[in-house]
Structure 1
């Protein structure tokens, strides 16, 4: 990988979707530069020219000239182009397609539901308990799907006999869900034991630890900035 030019990863150090790309790039030892895009600049030029949807992550790969946005598409691109030895993937069937299946479920099931749970509990301007209850229930339902599948997996991983991008794709959102449930005094300890073992293994990965710590620091900085802004207006 030493001859490669660094991939530019556009994102931030708080939200989960850029961070899951960050984890995968580091796990594969691919050179990259993580450029932070402030929230107020995501729907303005020049970033809007990179992603017309005004969201992160997005990547620019100077080695191929490709610009991509949407995390699922980015992950599949990285695997196809930079995981030739299948460190985090498989080149065989059905494993290759099972990985795509779990990435699709993460995109359609985990991300939107968990994101809405966070929004209605932490951000929305009024408390809508029915919305909070719906999305928290969906968080647990998704967790139960993972647990059921993992209970039948001899390796304890989502696909095959090793950790793949199918697993890494989930970890940051799962960490967010665990924190949110702790804020809400929801205790699921022991209810989903196969999930718990899988989650623990992922959190023990050095790169995952590093990125989770980076996110925690980013959240602390964000909260401090908000407090300072409020103090200025007081």
Structure 2
């Protein structure tokens, strides 16, 4: 893909831009990170790119497409840049099973994990019932993954290889691990099929790179402000 112009990825250390970062790295698509501060996401020029004022967004000079919402961006990248199906399938039912798991990630993982972070770190009053609810949702979601993975001969969410279905999940899972550790909640060993999957996804070079970049971003923000990633997600 050396003839391609770099895709501009607007983002920062938040989990959703890192999801897109991983897919771009895995597919070896040239891209340029364009950092937008959390304080600037609802101001020009970024608000002209994403009227919702959230990261990520991409601008693709190869097609003229500007796009926001991480799920839509991932689907776009696969449709346009994964013609050899390195991270996807062109066959049924695998193609639709991938869409199923990405839909679950968008609706059932990211929002609940983000709310767990919000109520534990950011909400002006301590609402223990809300904290308990969303932390329980983290565990419930992991139990769903574990149950499914227990029946997967390959240990991947779909088919016999790693796909975007797996990669879309990993950054929010890593973020949840940080939160649970702070809360002194340890689930290691309770969901062994999930644990094995999590370990092998986390070991992928593109994922390691994204996690390292995310940790660097959090370090720049300072230990007392790391929760802003969830606040502005």
Shared fold, TM over 0.5? yes
Query: Which residue matches 1:72?
Result: 71
CA root-mean-square deviation:
1.0
Return the offset for 1:207: 1.5
Unmatched segments (≥5 aa) in structure 2: 226-233
Query: Which residue matches 1:4?
Result: 4
Separation in structure 1 between the aligned mates of residue 88 and residue 143 of structure 2, nearest angstrom: 24
Separation in structure 1 between the aligned mates of residue 53 and residue 204 of structure 2, nearest angstrom: 31
Query: Which residue matches 2:34?
Result: 35
Separation in structure 2 between the aligned mates of residue 225 and residue 120 of structure 1, nearest angstrom: 16
Q: Deviations over 1:186-209 (max 9, x none)?
A: 111111000000000011111111
Query: Which residue matches 2:157?
Result: 158
Separation in structure 2 between the aligned mates of residue 204 and residue 211 of structure 1, nearest angstrom: 11
SS in 1 for 2:222: helix
Query: Which residue matches 1:231?
Result: none
Are 1:189 and 2:185 counterparts? no
Separation in structure 1 between the aligned mates of residue 129 and residue 194 of structure 2, nearest angstrom: 27
Larger relative CO (CA 8 A, sep 6+): 1 or 2? Answer: 2
| Superposition pairs of residues 1-234 of structure 1, within 5 angstroms | 1-12=1-12, 14-223=13-222
Return the offset for 1:63: 0.4
Return the offset for 1:126: 1.8
Write out the 4+ residue segments of structure 1 that deviate beyond 3 Å after TM superposition: none
The total of aligned residue pairs comes to 225
SS in 1 for 2:33: strand
SS in 1 for 2:165: helix
Q: Deviations over 1:92-148 (max 9, x none)?
A: 000000000000000000000000001111122221111100000001000000000
Q: TM-score of the superposition, structure 1-length normalised?
A: 0.94
Separation in structure 2 between the aligned mates of residue 75 and residue 209 of structure 1, nearest angstrom: 19
Separation in structure 1 between the aligned mates of residue 10 and residue 220 of structure 2, nearest angstrom: 19
Unmatched segments (≥5 aa) in structure 1: 227-234
Separation in structure 2 between the aligned mates of residue 49 and residue 225 of structure 1, nearest angstrom: 31
SS in 2 for 1:97: helix
Q: TM-score of the superposition, structure 2-length normalised?
A: 0.95
Separation in structure 1 between the aligned mates of residue 29 and residue 100 of structure 2, nearest angstrom: 24
Separation in structure 2 between the aligned mates of residue 192 and residue 181 of structure 1, nearest angstrom: 15
Return the offset for 1:225: 8.9
Return the offset for 1:46: 1.0
Greater Cα radius of gyration, structure 1 or 2 = 1
